[in-house]
Every structure is written in C-alpha cells, then in structure tokens.
Amino acid sequence: MDKILRIDVGVSGGPSFQTDSLASYAGLGGRAMTSAIVAKEVPPLCHPLGEDNKLVIAPGILSGSVAAMSGRLSVGCKSPLTGGIKEANAGGQAAQVLARLGYAAIVLEGKPADDTLYKVLINKDGVKIIPANDLKMLGNYDLIDKMKAEYGDKVACISIGPAGEMKMAAASVAITDMEMRPTRHAGRGGVGAVMGSKNIKIIVLDDAGMAMRSPANVEKFKEANKNFVQGLKKHPVTGQGLPTYGTNVLTNVINEAGGFPTFNFKQGRFDGAAKIGGEAQAELEISRGANPTHGCHKGCVIRCSGTYHDKDGHYLTKQPEYETVWAHGANCAIEDLDTIAMLDRLDDDYGLDTIEMGATIGVAMEAGIAKFGDAEAAINLVKEVGKGTTLGRILGNGAGITGKVFGVERVPVVKNQAMPAYDPRAVQGMGVTYATTTQGADHTAGYAVTANILGVGGSVNALKPEGQVDLSRNLQIATAAIDATGMCLFIAFAILDQPDTFQSLVDMVGAFTGKETTADDVTALGKQILTWERDFNARAGFTNKDDRLPEYFKKEKLAPHNVVFEVSDDELDQVYNW
C-alpha cells in the first residue's frame, strides 16, 4: 500500500492512468485518505458531476492484513446529494484485495471526452482500462455474473448499476462479498453517481500472486489481534446479537424505545415491527435454508451479514440490514419481509442506497404518489428508478428532491441527505449526530444509539437533551478514526465497553505500522479527519445553519413519548468545539 493509482478519464481516446507515490498522504487509510485527498484536491464549489470532482477509493490502514474485521473500503468525493464532502464505506472483499495489490487509493478524475463506458482491471501485472459499452445499464448482479465468467470467482469488484450511470444522487458503489455477490454498498451521498460521471462501470481487482500485507511487528500484531477477537466474541452485541440476528436485531429494540420512524417519521412505533424484526427474519431465513450468520469479508468474526432466500428456497438477496428493513418497511408502513427483501435486491441491483430510497418512498407516499403500506407500489416505484423513467429520476435523486418536486413539507433530511432509522426526537443523541456530522444525516457518523438505547459505553437518557452533544462529539471523533483503519464500525460496541479491547486495537495499529500508537493518537486522527471535512464544507458554503434538523422535529411531538427534539442550536454549535 505504497502508491496511489490515478485514472484520468478526461484524455481523448480513453482514460489513462499513472501511479503516484503517497507523498503527503503517506500513512493514511480509509476515510482519512479519502477526506484528505478530497479536501486538498477538489475545489469545494465545483459541480459534483463535473470534471473537477474526484472519486477516491481507499482501503483502511489495516486492510489486507490478517487483522480481523479490517475489510472496509472508503469511497469519497464531493457529494452530489449534499454538496459537501462525502465518505461512504462498505464491507465486502475489495478493501482487502486492493490493499494487497499495493494501492492505498484509486482516484478517478477528469471528465470523459465521450460516452464510452470503461472497466478497469487491476492485478499483479498492473492496470488495464478497457472499453466496455456492452456493460451499459447492466444491473450489478448481471454485471458481476459476466465478470465471474471472465475473471473467475476469486476477484473482487467495485461497480455501479444503472442508477450510477444515470448519475442519480442516491446511487451507490457496490462491492462484492465473499461469494462474489454485489451486496455490500458504499451507499450514501451518491458516490455511485460520481463514479458514473467518470464513465467507469466497474473496477475488477485480482490479487492472485500477491501476499497478505505483513505487519512491522509480527508477534505483537498477532497477540493484539487475538485479544481483539476475544474481546469481540465476549461482548453481547458483537458476540451474540449481531451474529444471531444480524443488524436487524435492532428493530424490536428501537421500536420498543419508541424511536422507530414510521409513516415517514410520523410516529416512533410500528405495529408491524415484530413481523419484520431480526428474530422473525432469522427464523424465516433458517426455515428457507438461508443463513443469518455469515461474514461479508474474509476475517470477519462478527458475521452479521447473512443471506435471504425466497419462498422457493432460492437466494434472493443478502440478509436485509436493519436500516433497510426500517426504510423499506416501517417508514413506508410495510410489514412484509419478502417485500423488503425484494426491495433490497432491487436496490443492490440498480445500485441504490436503501436508506435514501426508503426515506424517499416515504416522502412520495406522503405526497400521495402511493399509499402507505402498499408493498406492490413500493416495488414499482423502485423499478421506476431502475428504468430511469421521469418519476424514477426524481425518486433516484433522493428524499430532498422528491419533497421539493411534490411540494412536501415534512422531508426528513439534513444537508439534503435522508435520515436513517432512528427518530431524532426519541434518540436525541442521534439527532445531534444527524445535525452536525459533515456527512448529512448519517447514523454511522456518531452512533449515539449506544449510550442512548443500548447502554453501551455509558448511558445517556435518549429523550433528554442533556449530555447528547458530548456523546455525539466523542463518537464522531472515534468513528472517523475507526473509518480510517478499515475496521468495521461494529467493533465499536466492544471497544466502547471494554478498555482492553480498545487497547488491543490501538496495539494492533501500532504493531502493524511499527509506529508507537496511543489512544491519544487515535483521538487526534479522528479530530484531524473531521477538521479536514468541516473545512471543506465551510469552503463549500456550509455554516452552522446547515447543522440543524428540519424545523418540524422541534415542533411535532413524536408518539409514544410525545417528545420533540430539544437540543438547542447553541448546544449543536458546540459539537466541534473541542
């Protein structure tokens, strides 16, 4: 991981590439790498789909090593959805393979000279960029099947579906999983549209002949990794809850807490929650021969990803995540797991963020385009997006645009990005994160559900404003650092609760890089990343007025607790005051 691959798509006659040394980016990985490059190289006022934007793809610091859980790939750019800086990350195999191929980042830059679509092949022999108009408008599943036929099933792929080609602001970048299925998505903020704007359909990564990345201090690293894995296995969330039920273990928990947004954020509990929760889902999966306990990349020990089969026992999609079950389920008052799974499959195939799509359909239902609870209508709406019909183009550009086009007032977005599956009135720490993160409404940026609901890393009353700013600030800093390591964010449950597990992670980074590393270094890295991102956003025109929830969250009471969002603007302005 000592070089950066830069692909200039703006050369007439087709893209050219060069391999750069890391220079000032040395030592960075994941979100630290993507945000550093975007902040330094992308003009903040450029058009997100224009020649000056760059798509940066970076494995984490530990990716490609034997470190457990180190398979996250960061994808960064100026976001077509928010207009600010964006880092979306995903699991799957690509981070490991890319790291082993020696690349700390791939940067797609420039503006295509014509509309030829390309695929990029990277292996031990180097880089090939090949015209691939035969791949135009293929869904991710068909696309990956073609790659499998051509390159075998040991490669890893980074691709876009039709939504990315159509430059929709809800378009994701898909990453293949261990079975080479396009199920892991850097979903948020329209990173797929930026890849589409560069006319790159797919990057195929083949690490045959390459070695595992080796740590500076092998023994110390091995020991730290062992302790780290033990820590993950002993924590109830990472050792039991997530493996058994997947992320959807949260549905009944958040619903019980009254923070499960239903009917487009109208109420905090959904009558049909139990029907779509993780317990019901795992049972159904098992009964159909699918597997609820499965990793999305090699080296995963939490194994929350799973598979979902249709009624006939055939693979339909990955096990839908909690956020997806909420977005396509409760938020649209849909209580049928097969519908949700079909929507998940369609989103993955078209290359769409399930959170943005579910929130968008909720807004469309509020606008009267379809009825809440109408499962068939929801499926048809997502199909419109995949086909790129006029309605589909609206929806494919997200909840904010959909709200504007149809004159809807209740649109749950911050910085134009749709809120995920926690109502900020009933989980006020999440509200602080939604409001203030550089990313637009994003649960992963500072997952206050930990202390607000799960009693992980302390306890802060979810319904009150007190303590939420400190909670969110600390989580945002820690998260940014974790997102730089390549580690799955779910390790946070264990490291927040278990100081020795946190120390194992710090030791692992130190042993790998060979540089003495302390907890303070981790904090400093997190702050550095957030500072780069905040600075980019400020130069793009963001102010504290963008760090606000839509007004109705302060006015409309949310049942069953009948609460509004109570963290004051002045308090929100203190999140980045460290």
Give contact residues for its own copies (rule: CB under 8 A).
Answer: 43-47, 49-50, 52, 80, 166-169, 193, 197, 390-391, 393-394, 397, 401, 404-407, 409, 539-543, 545-546, 548, 550-552
Nearer to its own copies, 165 or 344 (CB): 165
Contact call for residues 180 and 148 (beta carbons, < 8 A): yes
Angle at which helix 354-366 crosses helix 337-350, to 10 degrees, equals 120
Contact call for residues 459 and 466 (beta carbons, < 8 A): no
Nearer to its own copies, 150 or 551 (CB): 551
Nearer to its own copies, 381 or 530 (CB): 381
CB of 308 to its own copies, least distance (A): 32
CB of 47 to its own copies, least distance (A): 5
Structure tokens at 370: 């379809």
CB of 284 to its own copies, least distance (A): 36
CB of 338 to its own copies, least distance (A): 28
Nearer to its own copies, 336 or 556 (CB): 556
- Per the DSSP assignment, residues forming a β-bridge with 164 are none
CB of 83 to its own copies, least distance (A): 10
d(C-alpha 5, C-alpha 17), whole Å: 7
Contact call for residues 207 and 97 (beta carbons, < 8 A): yes
Q: How many residues does the chain have?
A: 578
Q: 126 burial class (0-12, 13-18, 19+ CB within 10 angstroms)?
A: exposed
d(C-alpha 445, C-alpha 177), whole Å: 23
CB of 435 to its own copies, least distance (A): 12
Contact call for residues 485 and 509 (beta carbons, < 8 A): yes
Q: DSSP secondary-structure letter at 557?
A: P
Helices (H), 294-336: 322-328
d(C-alpha 429, C-alpha 425), whole Å: 9
Nearer to its own copies, 311 or 545 (CB): 545
Nearer to its own copies, 46 or 559 (CB): 46
**DSSP 3-state assignment of 228?**
helix
Nearer to its own copies, 63 or 172 (CB): 172
With residue 175 as reference, give the H or E element that holds it.
Answer: strand 173-175
CB of 551 to its own copies, least distance (A): 6
Whether the link from the prior residue into 560 is cis, omega within 30° of 0, is yes
Nearer to its own copies, 45 or 208 (CB): 45
Q: DSSP secondary-structure letter at 389?
A: -
